Structure 1
């Protein structure tokens, strides 16, 4: 089988009122699915047809294949993003993660403010990121479909700041969207899990030969 649209790790309405089921219907069910469909069409019949998603992203980046890079990277970015979310109040930073947040940023609120500033002020479409770099937490952002997978970064957490991520619920209010998501529905258990440096693998998919029937 080809790359697939992963199921959401929560019920459609589990993130309300901070992220609505309608947003998820469009963001996951239409935008994310479109990246899956397009990427499958682009790798069919090529040497990357059976490659894993991460391998496809890296190969597309090295080859300068923008179409394949954009669609495969967006599959990975979105698959990672959904895992970064959880129902309100279900997790909080604790243990090693909480210690690192305190050491590297001065506390949870300072981290949230830095992530919000980076994400809100990112020009046009893209992603805000918390990554692990040489044992330290760092905040950055990447444009359009760009992804830590292509740069050897160790991803911990992401915030989608493409307009389709928030327009249904927040219209053009990116600052309110980012603040609400960060303060209410982050899956800190998932963020902590990624401290092992294996975050890239948690949104990867194994590649498989794509038949004509799969694409029809």
Structure 2
């Protein structure tokens, strides 16, 4: 079955003033849509993989490189579809952004010392990613929380990831995600992100990951 572009779980202007309406419209309707179209086209060359869901595709796609053009690999296009589908769901209206559950807060305190320390490490990963990529908070194989970043449309599920984890929160730091509003002020965009984090979704992702499951997309 071909992948389809998921609807945004909120109106394009719902994240104002932290994420502007024009960026959301273009990011979802143009950039994400292109990844969906391109991963479907890429899968035409590997019909045996068409039955895989987007999570499983990300776990195995590194082994199916078939083009010298990065934009056409399953790793890149499948990663782009997974990453954006995940990203939309971990954001919400500013008025709906609460905090982590008691269980997640305890795990954050254990891993990082405090919520603020976790944010500092996450922000540094996002700001320090050279060029395009993502920052992630996730559950590592040993069950503890960790922060990492990945290049381009890679993610911590893929074989190429330097540090494997099940992501529970992620931030897109490609310029198309913030440049219309923040220009070259990536740290300002990163700081604004915390105002629209959907902690209910992150809590659900954490609960699933602790049981070995994946976030629902």
Query: Would you call these one fold, judging by a TM-score over 0.5?
Result: yes
Q: Is the 8 A contact 1:116 1:178 kept in 2?
A: yes
Once the two structures are TM-superposed, the CA of residue 93 in structure 1 deviates from its matched residue by 1.6
Paired residue secondary structure (1:186): coil
Q: Is the 8 A contact 2:94 2:196 kept in 1?
A: yes
Pairing of 1:49-128 with structure 2 (within 5 A) = 49-65=50-66, 66=70, 67-90=73-96, 91-128=98-135
Q: Is the 8 A contact 1:42 1:68 kept in 2?
A: yes
Paired residue secondary structure (2:59): helix
Q: Which runs of 5+ in 1 are unaligned?
A: 204-216
Paired residue secondary structure (1:11): coil
Q: Is the 8 A contact 1:155 1:199 kept in 2?
A: no
Verify: 1:27 aligned to 2:13, yes or no.
Answer: no
Counterpart Cα distance in 2 of 1:35 and 1:59: 17
Ranked by relative contact order (alpha carbons within 8 Å, sequence separation 6 or more), the top structure is: 1
Deviations 1:126-152 (A, max 9, x none): 100001111211111011111122145
Question: Match of 1:167?
Answer: 179
Q: Is the 8 A contact 1:149 1:200 kept in 2?
A: no
Verify: 1:146 aligned to 2:154, yes or no.
Answer: yes
Paired residue secondary structure (1:202): coil
Q: Any runs of at least 4 consecutive aligned residues in structure 1 with deviations exceeding 6 A, and if so which?
A: none
Counterpart Cα distance in 1 of 2:40 and 2:200: 31
TM-score by length of 1: 0.87
Once the two structures are TM-superposed, the CA of residue 199 in structure 1 deviates from its matched residue by 6.1
Q: Is the 8 A contact 2:90 2:199 kept in 1?
A: yes
Q: Which runs of 5+ in 2 are unaligned?
A: none
Counterpart Cα distance in 2 of 1:155 and 1:96: 16
Verify: 1:193 aligned to 2:207, yes or no.
Answer: no
Kindly report the root-mean-square deviation, in angstroms, between the aligned alpha carbons of the 2 structures. 1.7
Question: Match of 2:167?
Answer: 155
Q: Is the 8 A contact 1:125 1:161 kept in 2?
A: yes
Counterpart Cα distance in 2 of 1:82 and 1:112: 19
Once the two structures are TM-superposed, the CA of residue 154 in structure 1 deviates from its matched residue by 1.1
Residues 2 and 63 of structure 1, relative CA distance in 2, 3 Å threshold: closer
Deviations 1:156-205 (A, max 9, x none): 100100110001111111110001102x01111111111221663523xx
Higher mean C-alpha deviation, range 1-10 or range 171-180: 1-10
